[in-house]
Structure 1
């Protein structure tokens, strides 16, 4: 009985984290799209090039930030999967 409850809890937590990954990916895509839109409006001169470089660096930072979040969630899923596999033996 207790084991079955723990299995259900682990399955729920795994699904919740997978959903969180989807949400994080969507949020990252929205932020990058917003920055890409800003970048498209840069002038074709030195100031515009400097601004584009700044936006590109910001895009890289956004992707890196979300990458850390997503990897953390994936690591948690992997741990939960191992726990679940142990219970199912």
Structure 2
């Protein structure tokens, strides 16, 4: 590992994306069923799964294009819905 990679791997600061028990449903059908994810600054993460498994829905929730029905979702330490209301913007 290079020195930069070692620093990134050992970071303990606030995660860039933190999802805990995220739930989302459409028309009574549960699409996201308690998703957990932690992504730290500098990390690269791929969402892989079959068609209809909720990958795009999860990304839309992270970008506040869809509101979650339950759980916790933060980006850079700010709750997604709260940050959007305070700034009037979406990602």
- TM-score, normalised relative to structure 1: 0.25
Bigger RCO of structures 1 and 2 (CA < 8 A, at least 6 apart): 1
| Richer in strand (by share) | 2
Whose Rg is larger? 1
| Richer in helix (by share) | 1
- TM-score, normalised relative to structure 2: 0.25
